[in-house]
């Protein structure tokens, strides 16, 4: 069935709109989330795990950072699924310098948002035009926030500076009907002495497991590590294990080891979890997109290159992933094989990754960079990215909906 994705996307993107029913008009051409920035102003979609877009019920929301008022702030814009216009941006952060927002859909049109502000992780709940109060979480210098949820709890992982090195922290919060967040439990993923930095954590709750992955430098170069805990005892984590593998053969060109960057994590099907990241094991061509599957409650399997053979001679960045309970799993990234930065994607089918597909509407003229994707409850694809008309030109946030 998923072999129809490419044909379907190509067909629907020929038209400006596609009518799913006589009553509902679904926008399938790219639309602007923000207006182009003025000279010297920049939009950023750089959250840990590329978690900048979410759908709650009939509402899609995008969060980003820009410095349009002279200070980096966090903003949100939303629209209903049957609208072709995003709302004016809503400021989410406070008065300090703010960066790297992540968003999580909670249902009933509610969204949890976490970000770094004045070197401390902050969070709040947003619903329609109502916002709950900001809660500050990190006890020390902290950032790189990523979110999940469990029942009536928000789960936030972030990096907190612990003497010489950054440590991954899990923070549980409860949310009430008035959109107030209350800290419930806080624990380090690895409580013992650290050997080196831990950065950019991501979290996914699947079945009876809380899964956390992150960048780790304990081996003298960056690797992707993973730890998990039971849902009923989510502060007792397993010893960290490595996800990203050292490729076979000599290490010429690697130094102490090849580089990896910015893991993203998604649950799919009944109990699967998949991790993807940018991987420089083929150092001659820059980064490629690699991944690893964690079926059921088992360990992560061996590494798989996500992009196809045609992409191996070109550079890829900014992997983003989304999964669905029906088993769908899609990975998208920035790719330059067509001579410009475009968004490409692949999907998992019968245990194999499909040939790569150029995402029409997020490719071609200009620069399409830093994608973030999500699948809604129907399994349809929503994409946000940073667009520039020319290399080095003004930035803006764009969005695309593609029914699959």
What's the chain's average pLDDT?
90
Share of the chain above pLDDT 90, in %: 77
User: Does residue 276 fall inside a structural domain?
Assistant: yes
Contact 53, 382 (CB under 8 A): yes
The total domain count for the chain is 1
Contact 243, 226 (CB under 8 A): yes
The token pair at 178 is: 């008035």
CB neighbour burial string for 68-91, b if at least 16 within 10 angstroms, e if fewer: beeebbbbbbbbebebeebbebee
Distance set, CA 355 to CA 6, 306, 311, 319, 402 (Å): 10, 9, 10, 16, 18
User: Does residue 228 fall inside a structural domain?
Assistant: yes
Host domain of residue 297:
45-365
**Phi-psi sector, 293: left (phi>0), alpha (psi -120 to 50), beta:** beta
Tell whether pTM > 0.85: yes
3-state secondary structure of 283: helix
Is pLDDT at 8 greater than 50 in this prediction?
no
Distance set, CA 26 to CA 52, 181, 274, 400 (Å): 21, 34, 29, 11
Cα separation, 214 vs 265, in Å, equals 10
Cα separation, 29 vs 13, in Å, equals 6
Instruction: Calculate mean pLDDT across residues 280-307.
Output: 91
More confident residue, 13 or 333: 333
User: Does residue 250 fall inside a structural domain?
Assistant: yes
**How many Å is the maximal CA-CA distance in the chain?**
62
Is pLDDT at 250 greater than 90 in this prediction?
no
Contact 239, 224 (CB under 8 A): no
Which residue reads 């980096």 in tokens? 72
User: Does residue 272 fall inside a structural domain?
Assistant: yes
Is pLDDT at 309 greater than 70 in this prediction?
yes
User: Does residue 372 fall inside a structural domain?
Assistant: no
More confident residue, 14 or 159: 159
CATH number at residue 298: 2.120.10.80
Q: How confident is the model at residue 283 (pLDDT cuts 50, 70, 90)?
A: confident
More confident residue, 257 or 281: 281
User: Does residue 308 fall inside a structural domain?
Assistant: yes
User: Does residue 183 fall inside a structural domain?
Assistant: yes
User: Does residue 231 fall inside a structural domain?
Assistant: yes
Contact 346, 295 (CB under 8 A): no
Cα separation, 138 vs 131, in Å, equals 21
Which residue reads 């939303």 in tokens? 78
């Amino acid at each position: 069935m998923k072999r129809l994705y490419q044909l379907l996307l190509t067909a629907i993107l020929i038209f400006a709109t596609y009518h799913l029913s006589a009553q509902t008009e679904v926008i399938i051409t790219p639309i602007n989330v923000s207006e182009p920035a003025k000279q010297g102003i920049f939009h950023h979609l750089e959250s840990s795990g590329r978690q900048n877009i979410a759908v709650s019920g009939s509402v899609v929301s995008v969060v980003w950072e820009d410095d349009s008022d002279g200070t980096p702030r966090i903003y949100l814009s939303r629209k209903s699924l049957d609208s072709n216009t995003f709302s004016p941006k809503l400021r989410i952060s406070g008065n300090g310098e703010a960066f790297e927002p992540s968003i999580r859909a909670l249902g009933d049109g509610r969204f949890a948002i976490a970000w770094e502000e004045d070197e401390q992780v902050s969070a709040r709940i947003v619903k329609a035009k109502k916002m709950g109060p900001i809660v500050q979480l990190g006890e020390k210098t902290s950032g790189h926030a990523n979110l999940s949820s469990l029942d009536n709890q928000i789960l936030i992982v972030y990096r907190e500076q612990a003497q010489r090195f950054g440590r991954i922290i899990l923070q549980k919060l409860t949310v009430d009907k008035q959109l107030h967040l209350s800290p419930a439990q806080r624990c380090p993923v690895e409580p013992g002495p650290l050997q080196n930095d831990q950065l950019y954590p991501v979290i996914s709750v699947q079945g009876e497991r809380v899964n956390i992955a992150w960048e780790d430098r304990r081996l003298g170069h960056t690797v992707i590590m993973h730890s998990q805990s039971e849902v009923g005892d989510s502060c007792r984590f397993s010893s960290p294990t490595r996800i990203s593998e050292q490729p076979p053969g000599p290490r010429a060109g690697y130094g102490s080891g090849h580089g990896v960057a910015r893991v993203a994590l998604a649950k799919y099907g009944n109990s699967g979890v998949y991790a993807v990241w940018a991987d420089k094991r083929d150092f001659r061509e820059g980064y490629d997109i690699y991944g690893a599957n964690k079926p059921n409650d088992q360990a992560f399997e061996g590494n798989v290159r996500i992009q196809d053979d045609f992409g191996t001679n070109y550079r890829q960045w900014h992997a983003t992933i989304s999964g669905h309970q029906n088993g769908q799993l899609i990975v998208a990234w920035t790719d330059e094989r067509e001579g410009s930065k475009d968004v490409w994607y692949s999907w998992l089918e019968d245990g194999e990754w499909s040939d790569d597909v150029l995402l029409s509407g997020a490719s071609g003229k200009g620069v399409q960079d830093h994608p973030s994707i999500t699948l809604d409850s129907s399994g349809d694809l929503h994409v946000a990215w940073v667009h520039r008309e020319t290399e080095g030109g003004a930035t803006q946030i764009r969005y695309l909906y593609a029914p699959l």
